[in-house]
Structure 1
Amino acid sequence: MPQDLGAWAYLPAEGRPGTPGGPLSGLKFSAKDLFQVEGWPLTASTQAALPDLPPSPLVTRLLALGADLVGKTHLHEIALGISGANPITPGRNPLDPARMPGGSSSGAAITVATGEVDFALGTDTGGSIRVPAAWCGVVGFKPTKDHPAWPTEGVLPLSWTCDHAGPLTRDVKLAAHLHTALSGEAVPARSWSGLRVGLWRPATWLQPEALGALDELRTQAEQLGAQITEFELPDMLGAYSPIVQSEAAQVHARALTHSPTGFSAATEELLRLGASRPVEEVTAAREERQQYRQQLEALFGRFDVLLAPAVPGPAPLIGEGHLALPEGEIPLRVAVLRLTVPFSLLGAPTLVLPQRSGALSVGVQVVAPWQQDAALLGLGLTLEGEEGAGTT
């Protein structure tokens, strides 16, 4: 049964029906258990006490547009991780249950991959939509930071600097349809002909499956007429970690005063690390982030769109803590997040396209300049061979 994969945090006998006749009528969705839904529990897949939240306006809006909310999904505990682990019901990959689904939006990806819903609401702070999308073989869309169509109000924060809300879907066409319904922006398919495309190809960071998927998408873009030039990005984890961990510790400060706290040992350790980081260290990380923002702005002066790997390889087995990469054995968190963190730390809209690798899946990120979400989805539609979504 699909529930055996650890997807559902709350699955009522009857979900929350959408308004009949709306543009999203007939679609079913799940919401990551960070979204506050009026009358439903919120656990964030932890046993710790959580702050109070108002209802999510994004959930309310989707219901008003006609979509039916089926239930709420499990996640990596409080969204502070990328494997899908939590002390309640850890997730398992629908493509191979011995492997991790990715996180933190693990249950969201599982429910889309199993066909239990048409789309799922997730959140992405460092890769939490993009990693499980790639590993579970579904599409993930991380909008521009603070995009008005994808609000994070009514969502339990991890890091207000880096948090995004967005969907996981069965295909780009549905992601485009959702964005059109929520924003009113038409999403026509867009041509790649003549586009200046930057390719981030950190080969020593990638297993053969991920490198092959990236090169395959490069070839597809070139066949569509894109002009591709390689570029490099630095490892931004040194700026990301102090910011996110210190903000997460502030969000959960009350629970950290309890004994026991209710967090798993690994999560509590990260939160206490965040609480202990000196103000000067966090300030320096924010200054470094601003320098990275300028670097990305300069890249978007050279390129119209970027291509990058979404994950370093197929999903690891549950419990694995390191990945074997060309450069050596690398801690899993580092190996994964250094690929995805740049685009959530800096808030650029990013689309993950899954690429099958035998029975498993990897993925490629397509990244556009800020506020060019509709154009990004339009490029994705062309890669998928679709015509586009009209206005609402």
Structure 2
Amino acid sequence: MAADLNAFITEETIEGDGEGPLADTTVAVKDNISTAGVRTTCGSEMLADYVPPYSATVVERLTDAGATVVGKTNMDEFGMGTTTETSAFGPTRNPADPERVPGGSSGGSAAAVAAGEADVALGSDTGGSVRCPAAFCGVVGIKPTYGLVSRYGLVAYANSLEQIGPIAGTVEEAAEALSVIAGPDPNDGTTRDPAAVEGAGVPQGGYAAAADGDVDGLTVGVPTELFEGADERVVETVEDAIACLEDRGAETVEISLPSVEHAVQAYYVIATGEASSNLARFDGVRYGHRADSDGNWNESFAETREAFGAEVKRRILLGTYALSAGYHDKYYEKAQDAREWVRRDFEDAFDDVDVIASPTMPVLPFELGEGLEDPLRMYLADANTTPVNLANLPAISVPAGEADGLPVGLQLVGPKFGEATVIRAASAVEDR
């Protein structure tokens, strides 16, 4: 099944260390997360033969907990895509319908879990790249609060936005994996201990203990802006899932997040700007692909960077333009202002509600080729997920049901370090 779906780029085993909470658990790792001695390609020809000398903190924590890594999963090149079709190693197919995409950029990870090729998988989420494929493949994906999980060993796309998160078949399994990988790391100065954050913290017994389905008294905010324009079949399925929360004692209230109208535009300016800077390191000098060129350094540099795919080149060019002299104030600074507006809107909303519910993706899984033919449509599909990354909040995608035989995801967003709350709410949806 894995070969048919093209879920893995490299299938190689890294054994776990003895007993632990994840003993007998198999884990697939997205191929932009470093694994010592096992190649890490980022889905790109640029790093097709790169073998890192060290493992990411999250990989070490998983193997220390007894988990066995079974391979590196396919992904959109450098995490840039919503369909896992921009990979230099070919597209991944959706286990629910092999003629459709699994979502992206962590599509290989979600497909591996949905197909039973791994119990748990790691993805990275810059603008929805854990939640999107979780929704499209009918599994659970958690995007943690920025700073909860170490990014040491994650090949950078957009540092201020991205987080590593778990994908699993159930909320409890995803939460258990989160407990293992979460926590401060001296190698990543952005990490924080949730216990030191007022009103946050990890439940006794870890995040999995929060998957008890008890939502009695929970207030769920339903933002009108994240339902507008969504496929009617998706809206109907998600509304049924939210009704299930009401049946179990939660209260729903309509809220407004006016800033999210500008979130996609702000996200792509910020993300491409950071990508333009981060990917400058792939110059053929230190590591990765190097073009055979008899020309000068500029010619060699240009020919080396031809190894990037079309989508990566597009985003580098967009980011370079947005950061260039004369345009920085016009685009990048305005995007940062919009980001602050998004953050304040969420903060204000959480004064009145405990979690915010919406469709994870406003559409059903694309057919293969659809997103590549219309990149703007692919960007706009991120409308419901990108605001969470701009605000650095936790969110989960849990299966809400099916529409025309295709999976639909419900997204639940919480306040900073409110992972336990979104896990509890998601488990109630799962248990219906």
Question: TM exceeds 0.5?
Answer: yes
Q: How do 1:51-90 and structure 2 match up within 5 A?
A: 54-85=54-85, 86-90=87-91
**8 Å contact kept, 1:53–1:154:** no
Q: Is the 8 A contact 1:190 1:375 kept in 2?
A: no
Query: 1:365 is matched with which residue: 397, 402, 411?
Result: 411
State TM-score, norm by structure 2.
0.83
Secondary structure of 1:168's counterpart equals strand
Kept in 2, the 8 Å contact 1:30–1:108? The answer is yes
Which AA in structure 1 matches 2:146? K
Contact persistence 2:213–2:431 (CA under 8 A): no
User: Is 2:428 the counterpart of 1:382?
Assistant: yes
Count of matched residue positions in the alignment of Structure 1 and Structure 2: 377
Are the aligned partners of 2:28 and 2:120 in contact in 1 as well (CA < 8 Å)?
yes
Do the aligned partners of residues 19 and 260 (structure 1) sit closer, same or farther apart at CA in structure 2, a change above 3 Å counting? closer
Return the offset for 1:213.
1.6
Do the aligned residues in 2 keep the contact of 1:308 with 1:364 (CA within 8 Å)? yes
Q: 1:26 aligns to what SS in structure 2?
A: coil
Q: Corresponding residue for 1:146?
A: 147
State the partner residue of 1:390.
Answer: none
SS where residue 211 of structure 1 aligns? Answer: helix
Partner of residue 177, structure 1 = 176
CA contact (8 A) 1:93 1:110 kept: yes
Match of 1:196 in 2: 219
C-alpha distance in 2, partners of 1:91/1:119?
17
Alpha-carbon distance in structure 1 between the residues aligned to 2:37 and 2:372 = 41
Secondary structure of 2:222's match?
strand
Partners of 2:54 and 2:321 in 1: CA distance: 29
Deviation at 1:94, TM superposition (A): 1.1
Please point out which of 241, 246, 262 is paired with 2:273: 246
Please tell me the root mean square deviation across aligned C-alpha atoms, in Å.
2.2
Q: CA deviation at 1:357?
A: 2.3
Counterparts of 1:322 and 1:206, CA distance in 2: 20
- Whether the 8 Å contact between 1:200 and 1:309 is mirrored in structure 2 is no
Q: Give the match's secondary structure for 2:88.
A: coil
Output the amino acid matched with 1:226. A
Q: What CA deviation, in whole Å up to 9, does each residue of 1:149-206 have, x standing for no partner?
A: x211100011111001001100101112223344564323252222221012444421
Matches within 5 A, 1:24-63: 24-49=22-47, 54-63=54-63
The offset of 1:55, in angstroms, is: 2.2
Q: Which amino acid aligns with 1:243?
A: I
Q: Can you list the C-alpha shifts for 1:100-149, whole angstroms capped at 9, x where unaligned?
A: 111000100110010010000000000100111000111111111110xx
1:351 partnered with 2:396: yes
- Supply the distance in 2 between the matched residues of 1:181 and 1:264 (Cα, whole angstroms): 34
CA contact (8 A) 2:17 2:64 kept: yes
Unaligned runs of 5+ in 2: 183-201, 284-300
Partner secondary structure for residue 45 of structure 2: coil
Task: Note if 1:160 corresponds to 2:159.
Answer: yes
Aligned position for 2:100: 99
| Contact 1:58–1:151 (8 Å) recurs in 2 | yes
1:128 maps to 2:174: no
Kept after mapping to 2: 8 A contact 1:83/1:100: yes
Q: Secondary structure of 1:339's match? A: coil
Per-residue CA deviation, residues 62-98 of structure 1 (Å, 9 max, x unaligned), is 0000000001001011101111112222111111111
2:313 aligned partner, one-letter code: E
Higher strand share: 1
Tell me the amino acid that sits aligned with residue 25 of structure 2: L
Query: What's the counterpart of residue 335 of structure 2?
Result: 285
* Residues 176, 274 of structure 1: alpha-carbon distance in 2 compared, 3 angstrom cutoff: same
CA distance 1:20–1:212, change in 2 (3 Å): same
Residue 349 of structure 2 corresponds to 299
Name the SS for the 1:366 alignment partner.
Answer: strand
Which of 341, 364, 367 is residue 317 of structure 1 equivalent to? Answer: 367
Give the deviation of 1:255 after TM superposition: 3.2
Contact 1:125 1:345 in 2 (8 A): no
Distance in 2 (CA, whole Å) between partners of 1:252 and 1:334 is 20
Question: Is the radius of gyration larger for structure 1 or structure 2?
Answer: 2
Write the distance in 1 (CA, Å) between the matches of 2:214 and 2:232.
29
Q: CA deviation at 1:250?
A: 0.8
* Residues 140, 167 of structure 2: 8 Å contact kept: yes
SS of residue paired to 1:302: coil
1:381 Cα deviation (Å)?
Answer: 2.2
Provide the secondary structure at the position in 2 that maps to 1:193.
Answer: coil
Note the C-alpha offset of 1:230: 1.5
Identity fraction in percent:
30
Conserved? CA contact 2:36–2:53, under 8 Å: no
The DSSP-based 3-state class of the residue aligned with 1:376 is helix
Answer with 349-358 or 215-224: which moved more.
349-358
Matches within 5 A, 1:252-291: 252-255=279-282, 257-261=301-305, 262-278=307-323, 279-280=328-329, 281-291=331-341
8 Å Cα contact 1:79/1:158 also seen in 2: yes
**Range 369-378 or range 158-167, more displaced:** 369-378
- Aligned residues of 1:47 and 1:263 also touching (Cα < 8 A): yes
Shift of residue 358, structure 1, vs aligned partner: 3.8
Partner SS for 2:383 = helix
How far apart, CA to CA, are the structure 2 residues paired with 1:203 and 1:221? 18
